[in-house]
Amino acid sequence: MTEKEYIRMGLEGAGPLKLILCGSVEEKEMDKIGVVSVVWATLDAGAAERRLYELKQENPDNYYMVYSVPLDKDLTELEHYPSIEITKEDLV
């Protein structure tokens, strides 16, 4: 699945809450660490889409993804739940 397809899934999913997560690599003293943060939450899919593309333009070194999140549900049961993988290669 392409990034655009994942974004579309996140924006059009049945869950009412739209979350934008950010994956980044940060320098901490002499090490690099991977960080995943929730950076935006809204009930408005249009606002989520606009903010997603603004964030991508403002911080091109970071990775952003949007998720549709149902309430009162084990999110790991969803096909596309809020998570971002940071690999060892990302930290080199």
Summarised one tens digit per residue, pLDDT across range 51-83 is 999 999 999 999 999 999 999 999 999 877 899
Per-residue pLDDT, 19? 97
| Helix, strand, or coil (residue 88) | helix
> In this predicted structure, what is the pLDDT of residue 52?
98
Q: Encode pLDDT of 15-53 as tens digits.
A: 999 999 999 999 888 889 999 999 999 999 999 999 999
Q: Could you state, in order of their start, the residue ranges of all structural domains in the chain?
A: 3-91
* pTM for this model (two decimals): 0.88
Q: Which residue has the tokens 């809204």?
A: 42
Q: Which two tokens stand for residue 49?
A: 């889409």
